[in-house]
Copies of this chain bind each other. A is one copy, B any other.
Amino acid sequence: MVKPKSDFDRIVTKEGRTPVPASIRDVAQRAGVSVGTVSNVLNRPEEVSSESVQRVNRAIEELGYVRNDAARKLRGGISSTVGFVVLDGQNPFYTDVVRGAEDEGTRHNIAILYGNTDEDPARERVYLDLFEEQQVRGVLIAPYGDIATRLQRLRARGIAAVLVDRFSGDGRFSSVSVDNVMGGRMAVEHLIEIGRRRIAFVGGPFDIRQVNDRLAGARVAAENASRPLEIEVIATQAMTVEQGAAAGARILARPRRDWPDAVFAGNDLLALGLLQSLIVEGRMLVPDEIAIIGFDDIPFAAAAAVPLSSMRQPSRMIGRTALRILLEEAADPESIARRTVFQPELVVRRSTSG
């Protein structure tokens, strides 16, 4: 076992300073006040005379004091970390959501414990365990499996949870997401508006709630059209670029007259894969032969060779809002769960302006 102290001593002798982490007691001594006063300066400066505040702050400065979050947590004070369990860390959409949470976090001096599950329920559990051990202030989670009971247990331990990008069936937890049904509907309405009739939905697996919702919305649009139409479903095993390209290849393998003239992809990764595959003999079929619209509006959508139309999610805003709600709930355990739903926004680019 390493003894940090002895290491510090070693450094002391070497550099002549005293880098043994200063405790609140050291600060109190140097400032000539009690530990209680130092703690008050740290936490409720308004209750301390300005003279004491100054002296304490000077001592803190001189000693390079840094608060020990472990001790703070232990005594029952609240933790200054929040866990974020992400479904697919590789997807820029989630990167953006995390970024939003981060932004809000730094404003409250909160750090984010990050966990990427890659749609693996086992990893999901591992991270929730880890976060429980850490006694985080709360957990943001873009869930894959069914974690209601797990979250319930965390709550019993005083750890709040907010669902991201999805809501809980029973409404027992707050959530921040986008109206996926509406998004699906708007996407397909747009395709119909630009005159497409043979519309396909590419996406899957359908046990991912978001996928289902987007398809459902697409169907609503199809039925409500002045001349109703059918949505063909081309199922994929995942929402990745590779799967998108594979789906594209399957489309191209059909006789020409069976091609759809527009595809609504379950997310932008799929759409990018499709885009890549829809080049025949150096000619890009998008948007003239086949229009494509995606979902999420990740940064790469605009940057694609044929800039991609997409349903924009306010991803950073989702992250920020989720963290804000989480902090509120952590502060007030009596608070009632609420659902926050943002509206997606249609972003038209070249892939659907043929």
Contacts and interface: CB of A to CB of B under 8 A. Distances in A.
A305 B305 contact: yes
Contacts of A83: 111
14 contacts: A2-B78, A2-B158, A11-B156, A15-B156, A21-B157, A64-B153, A66-B129, A71-B74, A89-B98, A89-B102, A98-B116, A102-B114, A102-B116, A272-B303
Interface residues of A, number: 75
B69 A134 contact: yes
A266 to B, nearest CB: 16
A348 interface: no
A114 to B, nearest CB: 4
Interface of A: 2, 4, 7-8, 11, 15, 17, 19, 21, 64, 66-71, 73-74, 76, 78-81, 83-84, 89-90, 92, 95-96, 98-99, 102, 106, 109, 111-116, 123, 126-127, 129-135, 153, 156-158, 241-242, 245, 272-273, 275-276, 279, 282, 284, 299-300, 303-307, 331-333
A90 B153 CA distance: 33
Q: How many identical subunits does the complex contain?
A: 2
Contact of A300 (B19, B153, B272, B333): B272
A29 to B, nearest CB: 20
Given A19-B153, A272-B303, 16 more contacts: A19-B156, A68-B74, A70-B134, A71-B74, A80-B134, A84-B114, A90-B95, A106-B123, A109-B130, A111-B127, A112-B114, A113-B113, A242-B303, A245-B303, A272-B300, A304-B305
